[in-house]
Structure 1
Amino acid sequence: MKKQFAIIGMGRFGSSICRELFHMGHEVIAIDTDEKKLSLARSFTTETFVGNGTDESFLEKIGIRNFDHVIVAIGDDIQASILTTLHVKDQNVPNVWVKAQNDYHHKVLDKIGADRIFHPEKEMGSRIAAYLTSDTVLDYIDLSADYSIIEMLATKKVAGKTLIELDPRKRYGCTVIAVKQKHQVDVTPDPAEPIKEGDILILIGDKRDLRRFREGELS
């Protein structure tokens, strides 16, 4: 399902998320005070706006309240990041995700109601994009430019089916390497055992194949 995202801050981190979301087929607007950064991002954005996220009237003018997801990816200016987050939350945006510079910044963002806080030195843009676009993706580890290991939450759609019936290797080109049930991990899952809603499927494969499996079986 196509979603709408607003990314505030077109540094390396914001551009990475923006590019991944756009290539996934979502609508993405980019916001920055630097027109040069926006010009570089136009090939992987739906629309761009030159403006300051600390300016509440600017955010109202571009209709930031109409977005379900806003990512505050402002660089080294912690004060601007905090003020922008406050203004976006005041616009009743349901999902405000913010880049933190350090633990102090993280604590302040948590206090003012940021819904999720990222430390870019620990997380890659592609991993975050996977979280943003799916309620079923729980974890995402890049093995290379093309291959990943991903944890996906089993939904009602697959509950009662077996791995034999799903046959992800033949149908999608990816492999279930383990199944988590509560605190237990079965690294040799019985392919004839019915999957339960809430089980966590751990798969390995090409990123495109993993996405096809998620969209075809879990969505």
Structure 2
Amino acid sequence: MSKTLVFSAVVLTAALLLQSCGVLRQVQEAQNFARCQFRLKTVDRIRVADIDVQNVKSKSDLNLLDAGKLGLALAGNSLPLTLRLNVEAQNPNSSAAAMNRLEWTMFIDDIQMVTGAVSDRIEIPQNSSALVPLDISVDLLKVLSGKSAETIANFAFNLAGEGGKPTRFMLRIKPTITILGSDYSQSFDVRTEFTSGRSILQ
């Protein structure tokens, strides 16, 4: 057998072995990811109508400028709510876990707010955790269509701490892993409560 044929055979064998190792690694990462534990860790960067309400305990705490901005937004066609939802993924396995895409749907007090996706690959090292920040943007006037302006404002400020009942957050996540060009996914819910105010729409 010529040296060229021998070299080609070695290269082909090495390529097949590398591909096999790569597939096995992907399968292991996927299996590990299925055993990961998720929780909603924190909610921060809460803004309503571009007003920072993270530390505002009541609408009465707003200054004149912010109160005016809120009033104009409620009287208009849009009341944007933005926030960051920090999801903690805990990997209890002895090797890394990974996913290629994460689709999600956010609910607040059992009301579907918005859907989105993280398209970047997420890796979680062995026996450790990773924080996945989700930046949320939703128009409350559209989501809560038919509710009074006062009710919508109460709902928004409840997230920042006004009121006496917990706000219920639920994230429906659908992680996707890719093996040999094919996508595999599974949906499940991650629920939590933050004691931050009224939770029932009137």
Q: Same fold (TM over 0.5)?
A: no
Greater C-alpha radius of gyration? 2
TM bucket by the smaller chain? under 0.3
Q: Which has the higher helix share?
A: 1
Normalization by structure 1: what TM-score? Answer: 0.21
Q: Which has the higher strand share?
A: 2
